A and B are shown apart, each in its own frame.
Chain A
Amino acid sequence: METVLPAEGLLGWSWLLIALPLAGAAVLLLGGRRTDRWGHLLGTATVAGAFLLAVLCTVRLADVEGRSVDVDLFTFISTGELDVRAGLLYDPLSAVFALLITGVGSLIHVYSIGYMAHDPARRRFFAYLNLFVAAMLLLVLGNSFVALYVGWEGVGLASYLLIAFWYTRPSAATAAKKAFIMNRVGDVGLALAIFVMFAQLGTTSYAGVFGSVGTLAGGTLTAIGLLLLLGACGKSGQFPLQAWLPDAMEGPTPVSALIHAATMVTAGVYLIARSAPIYDETPTARTVVLAVGAVTLLIGAIAGCAFDDIKKVLAYSTVSQIGYMFLAVGLGPAGYVAGLAHLLTHGFFKAGLFLGAGSVMHAMDDSVDMRRFGGLARKLPVTFVTFGLGYLALIGFPFLSGFYTKDAIIEAALDRDDAWGWILGGVAVLGAGLTAFYMTRLMLMTFFGRARWEPGVHPHESPSVMTVPMVVLSLGSIGAGFLLVKAFPLADWLEPVFGEEHEAAHVVAPLTVGLVVTGVMLVGVLAAWLFVGRREVPVTAPVRVSPVTRAARNALYADTINESLVMRPGQWLTRALVWVDNRGVDGAVNGLAAGLGGSSSRLGRTQTGFVRTYALSMLGGAVLVAGALLAVTSG
């Protein structure tokens, strides 16, 4: 990549982006109860401030030559040949993410003020949320893989804390732990990738690594690519590490919206896009990315069809949508922009959807069982409208956000013009259909039909502090796609990062693609109406269902597989080792001691107390000594 200018002026202060929310978190955590009254306001303010700063920085960035600046801060670790400097890289890509994070972040902070109003630990919630924003910004702004790794694990911690926010619930605590552990599995991959880079190139900074990618052997590159992918899968809940994401819904809904829909889970996409120079050199790794994306896309979509928990459905939808993004970035230059565009739009409408779901739960006394919803459209008009818009955007209703970005991905896939291309394209289209199905099912079960509420539930619209962010986001779900793809093409903005957007020779005319996808989408909607809308929704899920449904309800047995392949053997191994350590290793030592004791008492018997025995031993000794000496000297 081209030379990076040192930052001056405003951009030199871009580290404040991270510092602000971090300071907020510190104040709230150390401040204790004193800060209870205004803590949430401070938390929101810091993030909003960061958003403003991000906007200003981005505007300034636009007229920096090369549209990319390096903010060098201080020496982090320097010993031997390793020299890691703490610094930021502010370029179009990180700028886009910074805007997304701070923007959506601010909205969700505002929303949380209302959503968490009655929680005694609201201050702690905002502290963690600020912590997350800071870590996430470090992740996307860092100028080296080490910095990225630090942010990477930082957001892992934040997500752990937030999922376990209601830690007295065992389920929440367990989900948090699960999330952290599965992330760590991915982190191992990321760490190893960094080690390889250092071993091969002696540096870990983006500039250094990408600058000398050419010097690396193909095998090494592939290894790096796959290791990075492992990391990405962990963080973005991609196959085979997708199982933690749905459980993460144990956290408060704003968390699900911000971390587990809009921002953190897309870090994997960021990582791969950021490492484009590496992936461009290794088709193998890139193919694997494609495969992962495609598989996850389907898994998520299928599982999404079967759940009755509104948040779980949205979670699996997230998994599936990120699958789309992976698929896109896996396509290489053709897909990076498409993937990122979808990432941004998804950030808007999925966040919106979650906030809507939160609002619904708020109305339904925190119930998440869609079988107990129904007919809420009239009771929660604002939620209904905003949620509806998000829904349309997600299923790719023409001319809404999802429509543009998803189509772009499918086009890019088909443009490969090979077997892979057709397969992936097909998968993507099928996914679109499934998406339409499960989202329509969700809409119908929640907002239409007869009210199946629990007795004593009186739905009411949420306060404006919650609805306003929803409205804003729904506007995003309408316009974002058009803006990013047509009006101000994201491609041009990101051009310094991914190079010229190459004019792909369309295998299939975009229009055709658009029609096909829309058609499939309508089929999905129709199917959903046939299955769910027409007939009465049973309050309890039917037991006697087809194997397919059962598989889907169990998320294709992901947990079962993890359990039987990892957890059980692990526990067994642990138990076995504990036994070995006590009986075997320690046993050997104690056994030795016991043996000495035993031989001691046995030898002691020779001390019979009879003079004549003693005399015998002496005589024997004497004879032995004399004999030995004679043998030595004469022999």
Chain B
Amino acid sequence: MIEAPDLSLAALAPLLFVFGAACIGVLVEAFAPRDVRHPVQVAVALVGTGGGFASTLVYAATQDLSAGGEITAGGALAVDKAGLFLQATVAGLATLAMLLFAERGLDPARSAFVAAAAVPAGSPRDRELATATRVQTEVYPLALFAVGGMMVFVTANDLLIMFVALEVLSLPLYLISGLARRRRLLSQEAAVKYFLLGAFASAFFLYGLALVYGATGTIRLGEIRQAVGEDGGDVLVVLGLALLVVGLLFKASVAPFHSWTPDVYQGAPTPVTAFMAACTKVAAFGAILRLLYVAFGTEEWTWRPLIYGVAIVSMVLGAVLGLTQTDLKRMLAYSSIAHAGFLLTGVLGLGADGAGSGLAATMFYLLTYGLTTLGAFAVLTLVRDGDGEAGHLSQWAGLASRSPLTAAVMGLFLLALAGIPLTAGFTGKFAVFRAAIEEGAWPLVLVAVLASAVAAFFYLRVIVLMYFSPPAADGPTVGVPGIPTTVVLAVTASATLALGILPGAVLDLAERAAIFVG
């Protein structure tokens, strides 16, 4: 007679919201008539993500988290303060991303997504569909599944759950990154690359899981910690740790596991890119933090050099490679690689047994970066030419004189990404650097600041083009954003400013939320 595992519905409510919405979405796809589908799907998606976001906050507010959080679902999930913060971040950012998905005002064909993914790109049917205003809505449930996966990912208390969550968040992403309405070849190529490499990476993760299991006889993070604590890190554990981390670094697009990032970011539909850049980053780093904090907190000195190394490689590579990019999406991809490096300085600030301020700092950075980059991609969707978005730098010349507001907002996001004070980017950078220096990693921080100086160059170049250059002759048109995009821009921009000027409250929240259980 097996007794049912304990389930704290309150703790699972966020997940239930999202997955529930996802399932409903599938049903809607199946049964709702085409013409109502889009509004319904959008509603469902927003309810799902927004509800997920709200319910995390409600839960955090109502429950007594003095213990740091609860372990539920038969020990599979650890819904703890940090987990909730990350879940909330994911859900919140996802809500904004959903709004971007829902934008219909910009593309003449009323959607950024392909009408019929199955139709071969470039075929006569495809060409006629390209102009038709018919929209396909499967992206919404897919995206919701991904969101759900992410939210599980950051609360997984169990390597296997982590793996499953990894797949649940990845598989839909593979698909929706192939659904661009324009430049379908690129989009499909992105999907293939992302898929193959993603699968390859998850294989590594899985093998690492197996090795750790073999060495410690368990896959519960807490138990792994005990086991490792007792009989130090033998070869299997170390190998396992390495492979697990590799699997996660891939998702976090940290060099040298970054190579998919530029291609996929460039090829995927921009809303999807925004979604990936913001949410996947959060989820991946959430998992990394949890793994290193809970399972290998006592092994700090084992993984420290690893993180140290990849952080440097990632920052330098991202910053340097970004210099010569001519496509904005690709440039932002490299910037995201560099930022992954900065985030790792925060991870390094975890300190022995997570004693350092690294966890709080990294979580705050994730929030700020997510908001800023989401906003930046949102602006990209506005600037268009005959063939979809005008991603080429040269097309942005003199944008300020054509559309001052767009340029101003973009400028704000770029300054934030460059980490200029009074923007969220600076507060985040300061937090992670501080954490790292407290752990004595000042040489790394020195590299980091130099890297961010280099990175600043390509952010500045965009500003120079927008403001100081004469408008290009065949300049792009700046689309008038519909309500959804407007909301996204308003939220992200104001948040970027607010977290730069008065970050106190949120910092404090992150500070108090900086606890993992398990």
Contacts and interface: CB of A to CB of B under 8 A. Distances in A.
Interface of A: 593, 596-597, 599-601, 603-604, 607, 609, 611, 613-615, 617-618, 620-622, 624-626, 628-630, 632-634
B371 interface: no
Interface stretch (B19-27, B94-102, B255-263): B255-263
Contact of B246 (A604, A611, A621): A621
A607 B262 contact: yes
A607 B204 CA distance: 22
B320 A596 contact: yes
A632 B192 contact: no
A630 B200 contact: no
A630 B241 CA distance: 11
Max count, chain B CB within 10 A of own CB: residue among A597, A615, A625? A625
A496 B302 CA distance: 90
A600 B321 CA distance: 5
Interface in B182-233: 192-193, 196-197, 200-201, 204, 233
Given A625-B242, A626-B243, A611 B305 contact: no
Contacts of B200: 615, 618
Interface string B263-277: 100000000000000
Contacts of B305: 628-629, 632
Nearest to B247: A622
Interface in B322-377: 322-324
Given A614-B259, A617-B259, A626 B302 contact: no
B454 A607 contact: no
Given A600-B320, A614-B259, A632-B302, A622 B242 contact: yes
Interface string B413-444: 00000000000000000000000000000000
A179 to B, nearest CB: 47
A453 to B, nearest CB: 68
27 contacts: A593-B457, A600-B324, A603-B317, A604-B321, A607-B262, A609-B263, A611-B193, A611-B197, A614-B259, A615-B197, A617-B256, A617-B257, A617-B259, A618-B197, A618-B204, A618-B246, A618-B250, A621-B256, A625-B245, A625-B309, A626-B246, A629-B241, A629-B242, A630-B239, A633-B235, A633-B302, A634-B235
Contacts of A624: 256
Max count, chain B CB within 10 A of own CB: residue among A604, A624, A633? A633
Nearest to A634: B235
A633 B317 CA distance: 27
B117 interface: no
B311 to A, nearest CB: 13
A622 B454 CA distance: 27
Nearest to B204: A622
Nearest to B254: A621
B164 interface: no
Given A600-B320, A617-B256, A633-B238, 15 more contacts: A593-B457, A600-B321, A603-B317, A604-B324, A609-B263, A613-B259, A618-B204, A621-B257, A622-B257, A624-B256, A629-B239, A629-B242, A629-B302, A632-B302, A634-B235
A621 B259 CA distance: 11
A629 B324 contact: no
A607 to B, nearest CB: 6
B9 interface: no
A308 B257 CA distance: 89
A597 B238 contact: no
B322 to A, nearest CB: 8
A629 B307 CA distance: 11
B323 A614 contact: no
A319 B204 CA distance: 95
B160 interface: no
Nearest to B303: A629
Contacts of B235: 630, 633-634
Interface of B: 192-193, 196-197, 200-201, 204, 233, 235, 238-239, 241-243, 245-246, 250, 256-257, 259-260, 262-263, 302-303, 305-306, 309-310, 317, 320-324, 454, 457
Nearest to A633: B238
Max count, chain B CB within 10 A of own CB: residue among A618, A630, A632? A618
Contacts of A603: 317, 320-321
Closest 8 CB pairs of A and B: A621-B256, A614-B259, A600-B323, A626-B242, A600-B324, A622-B246, A601-B324, A629-B242
A628 B323 contact: no
Nearest to B309: A628
Given A625-B242, A626-B242, A626-B243, A611 B256 contact: no
Contacts of B246: 618, 621-622, 625-626
Contacts of B262: 607
B302 A615 contact: no
A626 B247 CA distance: 12
Nearest to B240: A626
Max count, chain A CB within 10 A of own CB: residue among B204, B256, B257, B262? B256
Contacts of B196: 611, 615
A453 B241 CA distance: 109
Given A630-B239, A633-B238, A596 B233 contact: no
A445 B99 CA distance: 103
B284 to A, nearest CB: 15
A614 B197 contact: yes
Contacts of A607: 259, 262-263, 321
A596 B319 CA distance: 10
Contacts of B239: 626, 629-630
A622 B248 CA distance: 12
A628 to B, nearest CB: 7
Contact of A614 (B233, B245, B260, B309): B260
B243 A620 contact: no
A603 B325 CA distance: 12
A601 to B, nearest CB: 5
A610 to B, nearest CB: 9
A621 B310 CA distance: 9
Contacts of B306: 625, 628-629
B310 A633 contact: no
Nearest to B305: A632
A600 B325 CA distance: 9
Contacts of A601: 324
Contacts of A617: 256-257, 259
Max count, chain B CB within 10 A of own CB: residue among A601, A614, A632? A614
A614 B195 CA distance: 12
A61 B353 CA distance: 91
Contacts of A604: 321, 324
A599 B321 CA distance: 8
Contacts of A629: 238-239, 241-242, 302-303, 305-306
B320 A599 contact: yes
Given A611-B192, A629-B302, A632-B302, A620 B256 contact: yes
Max count, chain A CB within 10 A of own CB: residue among B197, B259, B260? B259
A603 B313 CA distance: 12
Contacts of A625: 242, 245-246, 306, 309-310
B324 A597 contact: yes
Contacts of B201: 618
A613 B250 CA distance: 15
Contacts of B259: 607, 613-614, 617-618
A603 B320 CA distance: 8
Contacts of B309: 625, 628
A597 B242 contact: no
B375 to A, nearest CB: 26
B1 to A, nearest CB: 44
B231 to A, nearest CB: 13
Contacts of B204: 618, 622
Nearest to B201: A618
Contacts of A597: 323-324
Nearest to A615: B200
A601 B320 CA distance: 9
Max count, chain A CB within 10 A of own CB: residue among B241, B257, B263? B257
A590 to B, nearest CB: 13
